[in-house]
Amino acid sequence: MTGCVFNIQKFSIHDGPGIRTTVFLKGCPLRCLWCHNPEGLEPSPEIEFEPSKCIGCGACVSACPAGCQTMDKAGRGFDRSRCDRCGKCADVCLTGSLKRVGRRMTVGEVMAKVLDDRLFYETSGGGMTLSGGEAFFQPDFALALLESAKEEGLHTALETSGFCSRAVMMKAVPLTDLFLFDYKATGEELHKRLTCVLQAPILDNLRALSDAGARIVLRCPIIPGANDTEEHFTAVAALMETLSGIEAADLEAYHPLGTGKAPKIGKTQAFRSAAPAKERMEQIRAFIQSQTKKPVRIS
């Protein structure tokens, strides 16, 4: 079995307990306006292009079978409309101006990289985390990775938007020690406008996870001008108090990394926001904490 992976991040300390390796799977059904990982949206490999790194050697022009890469008096060009993403241009690029984003990997190949750091997991209480994109966008591959990790005795965590098949999510429960469940906005209209999907099935899946005995940490991105409202923060606290499976909430401040990454893969991200100040993040944390006994943290 293979899946499309766009990053394997070692020594990750923000995706579950201890020192972890986070495996990022490509493909996501949401289109959040502020997406931090636009390279994870499409399920197939892509080509990243940074013109500033190009030295004009012409190797990519010769390597591209579709003639997408050009170099003439008008300058350096990349016609993405003709690109089939074969990656041959990136394979010969000497400077990293062209890179493959995402590649097919077997479960064994992924796990070999994960297990390289077993000692760190054992000494810190860490393990493997699946993220994305949306990990459940590649359901069979995600479940196979979780199963393999559990066979190796690793702690497993999985980050999800919750917009996925209920049946697949329930299969993941006995294989997943901790769910990092994104809670992005409150209210159907606002949620649809910010993420392009409805909220109701997400909340239904969250309740089903809790009822199934899963351990859950809510992940709440704080996006000024989008979801920075008392109504939303009150809803976060209410979920924490009413669903027994939720152990804590982590507040994540918006950062603009997605706006810089999107153009490199031929996308645009029009959304702009200032990062919330530390003082504002603490105000939000205190407001939610005043309404729940469970921990509310700034990650």
Q: What is the pLDDT of residues 240-288, one digit of tens each?
A: 999 999 999 999 999 988 999 999 999 998 898 899 999 999 999 999 9
State how far the Cα of 298 lies from the Cα of 281, in Å rounded to an integer. 7
Task: Give the confidence band of 2 by pLDDT, cuts at 50, 70, 90.
Answer: very high
Q: Determine the CATH number of domain 2-42+105-298.
A: 3.20.20.70
Give the chain's radius of gyration (CA, Å): 21
User: Which pTM does this prediction carry?
Assistant: 0.94
CB contact at 8 A, 297 and 251:
yes
- Rounded distance between C-alpha atoms, residue 202 and residue 299, angstroms: 22
Question: What are the backbone dihedrals phi and psi of residue 261, each rounded to the nearest 5 degrees, phi first?
Answer: -80, -30
Cα angle at 207 between 182 and 170, to 5 degrees?
85
- What pLDDT score was predicted for residue 18? 98
| Average pLDDT, rounded, for the chain | 96
Q: Tell me the two tokens of residue 282.
A: 């603490």
- CATH code: domain 46-101 is 3.30.70.20
CA distance 201 to 168: 14
The gap between the terminal CA atoms of the chain, to the nearest Å, is: 34
* Beta-carbon count within 10 A of 273 CB: 17
Domain with CATH 3.20.20.70 in the chain: 2-42+105-298
Alpha helices, DSSP H, located in the chain: 59-63, 88-92, 107-115, 118-124, 139-151, 166-172, 188-195, 200-211, 230-242, 257-261, 278-289
Percentage above 90 pLDDT, the chain: 94
CB 253 within 8 A of CB 212: no
Q: Could you give the CA distance from residue 24 to residue 32 in angstroms, rounded to a whole number?
A: 17
Domain with CATH 3.30.70.20 in the chain: 46-101
Residue 79 clears pLDDT 90, i.e. is over it: yes
Q: If you ran DSSP here, which 8-state letter would residue 115 be given?
A: H
Retrieve residue 81's tokens: 């409309």
- The whole-number pLDDT of residue 270 equals 86
Q: Which structure tokens are listed for 178?
A: 């901790």
SS3 call for 217: strand
Retrieve residue 228's tokens: 């920075």
Q: Which residues of 145-167 are buried (b: 16+ CB within 10 A; e: fewer)?
A: bbbbbbeeebbbbbbbbbbbeee
Q: Measuring CA to CA, which residue among 151, 124, 148, 112 is closest to residue 19?
A: 124
d(C-alpha 84, C-alpha 78), whole Å: 12
Indicate the residue type of 77: G
Residue 196 CB neighbour total at 10 angstroms = 13
Check pLDDT > 90 for residue 73: no
Report residue 246 as tokens. Answer: 């939720």
- Range name among 6-15, 70-79, 110-119, 175-184 with the lowest pLDDT average: 70-79
